[in-house]
Structure 1
Amino acid sequence: MTLNSTQRFTDRVADYVKYRPSYPQEVVSFLHETCGVAPAARVADIGAGTGISAQLFIAAGHPVIAVEPNQAMRAAADSWLGDSGLFRSVAGTAEATTLEAASVDLVIAAQAFHWFDPATARREFARILTPSGLVALFWNSRRLEGSPFLAGYEALLRRYGIDYTLVAERYADDAAMAEWFGQGFLHQARFANHQRLDLAGVQGRLMSSSYAPKPGHANYAPMQAALRTLFERTAQDGEIELTYDTWVYVGRPA
């Protein structure tokens, strides 16, 4: 499987829309109250995908331009958010957004950030930001332990996922983010997030991941069987809980 980030989710859009978690409202509150982002700040959501992160800011009253190279994901975002009056999307990448210089007050990038070329994206973010603008990078990091389901799910991914380890290792830690921002690093925070899912929900959540084997792959049936067994062993009242830490890093691109 290729690590081509612009196309590897094309055949997973329906599951992505339905089963991927959103982000805590505290992310927007933190940006307003701690980081000084104005309530009507113009937002560029880079690698916006199906619009999950954009929706959070639209709900808070921000106009959002979604920059997304994958046509199928961009179409899903347009369908969901296009009537809001605060949303528009463009075909672009983190390294070449197509946006005008100094045209936005806040650049955000959520779950997609680990797919970007770091140095080129930083230069592009600096170009499209106003002089006082900020970058906010945030993502959900699934907890790998803490319950029998969480530990079992991680083991399942490592056993059956196609390139799970390679993808998982792309996520940055605190030190890497401090290095990326350099002298422009201002704030960071962590918020708890979770999903409660029935069996269909956890199956859909798994299949929204680019490293999950699709039907026809040798690992597909064994992975689905292992997931069902894990769910039946650990579910309470017909549901399991996926728990995340939402990490937020804010600053100016140096």
Structure 2
Amino acid sequence: MPTENTQRFGDRVDNYVRYRPHYPEAVLHYLHDSFGLAPSHTVIDIGSGTGISSEMFLKNGNHVIGIEPNEPMRTRSLSLLKDYSRFEAVDGTAEQTGLSDASADFIVAGQAFHWFDRDRAKNEFHRILKPNGVTVLMWNERLVDTEFARLYDQLIIDHAIDYVTVDHRNIEPAMIAAFFAPAKCTLKTFANSQTFDFEGLKGRLSSSSYVPNEGQPGYALMIEALKDLFNQYCKDDVITINYDTNVYVSRRAELY
């Protein structure tokens, strides 16, 4: 995970906490039913951020170790998840977690894989994963399934700093297959959505690292365009954003 990427969200923590989508509870049921996830398992959450994905596993009773290089996000996760005694957060990266060999029953990366140095992360995952352990890569992929959604995506492209470069949709299935090889991976997709008033939509947009933040050049113009778009397409003063929650799962190959 290149150094510049580890610090991208440090000035957006509040919006990230309030407006980023969570993951459907059905993901937990799927991992339990198909891959044997149990409360006794240790889950390593790579790129744990403010703890969105960690909390899902903590609610399941798991011991969760969040690996997060961004200090403001890591600190916020410790605050938000302080009531969970089985959570800890470590200053580390996907490529260098600092954890012991064979310490993970499950490795989870939620909305983070596209930041990794994939070759180095693959080696690190194999080092810390227990025999027969499971790796889970998850994304909430925003759908471009309505006229509003298409125009919202274009708004991001028009005003973004580097959206086209860093968008997680640049990750091809072949890249994921290569990361897991020689093991096979399974893709399961779940429906997800968020409904926002204008302040919520503004916060959701501002939580992304690839758009100008408040006080930066271009921010005011972006928000003006967003307001116009919201007013045109909102219904009862809210707008809905739909996602596919894509979950790629692989069990460690015996060759490793």
Q: TM-score range with shorter-chain normalisation?
A: over 0.9
| 2:15 aligned residue | 15
What letter is aligned with 1:70? N
- Cα distance in 1 for residues equivalent to 2:215 and 2:223: 12
Equivalent position of 1:212 in the other structure:
211
User: Deviation of residue 218 (structure 1)?
Assistant: 3.4
Alignment-derived partner of residue 148 in structure 1: 147
* Distance apart, 1:27 and its partner CA: 1.3
Q: Please give the secondary structure, in 2, of the residue aligned with 1:39.
A: coil
Q: Distance in 2 between matches of 1:221 and 1:11?
A: 17
For 2:154 and 2:3, how far apart are their aligned partners in 1? Answer: 22
> 1:221 deviation in Å?
1.4
What's the CA shift for 1:253? 5.1
Taking a change above 3 Å as real, the CA distance of residues 90 and 18 of structure 1, as seen in their structure-2 partners, is: same
Structure 2 counterpart of 1:177 = 176
Deviation at 1:5, TM superposition (A): 1.2
Please give the residue correspondences for 1:121-136 in structure 2 after superposition, counting only pairs within 5 Å: 121-136=121-136
Find the aligned partners of 2:160 and 2:100 in 1 and give their Cα distance. Answer: 40
Describe how 1:223-234 pairs up with structure 2 within 5 A.
223-234=222-233
> Match for residue 93 of structure 2?
93
Q: May I ask how many residue pairs the two structures share in their alignment? A: 252
- CA drift at 1:92: 0.5
Query: Which whole-Å deviations, capped at 9, do the CAs of 1:118-159 have from their partners, x for residues lacking one?
Result: 011111111111112110111111012x22221110010011
Letter in 2 for 1:88: E
CA distance in 1, matches of 2:3, 2:105: 31
Check the 8 A contact 1:123/1:253 in 2, yes or no. Answer: no
Query: Do the aligned partners of residues 43 and 202 (structure 1) sit closer, same or farther apart at CA in structure 2, a change above 3 Å counting?
Result: same
Contact 2:47 2:112 in 1 (8 A): yes
TM-score, normalised to structure 1, is: 0.95
**Deviation of the 1:216 alpha carbon:** 4.0
Question: Match of 2:56, SS?
Answer: helix
Amino acid corresponding to residue 218 of structure 1 in structure 2? P
**Is 1:51 aligned to 2:51, yes or no?**
yes
- The 2-side partners of 1:191 and 1:172 are apart by 18
Instruction: Provide, for residues 87-140 of structure 1, a one-character-per-residue CA deviation record: whole Å limited to 9, x for no partner.
Output: 111100000001111111000001011101101111111111111211011111
Whether the aligned pair in 1 keeps the contact of 2:45 and 2:109 (CA below 8 Å) is: yes
Aligned counterpart, 2:6: 6
- Corresponding residue for 2:137? 137
- CA-based RMSD of the aligned residues comes to 1.6
Gaps of 5+ in 2: none
- Show the counterpart of 1:66: 66
Q: 1:207 to 1:22 in 2, by over 3 A?
A: same
Question: What is the aligned-residue identity percentage?
Answer: 46
Unaligned runs of 5+ in 1: none
Aligned to 1:162: 161
Q: Which amino acid aligns with 1:111?
A: Q
Which residue number in structure 2 is paired with residue 193 of structure 1?
A: 192
Partner of 2:25: 25
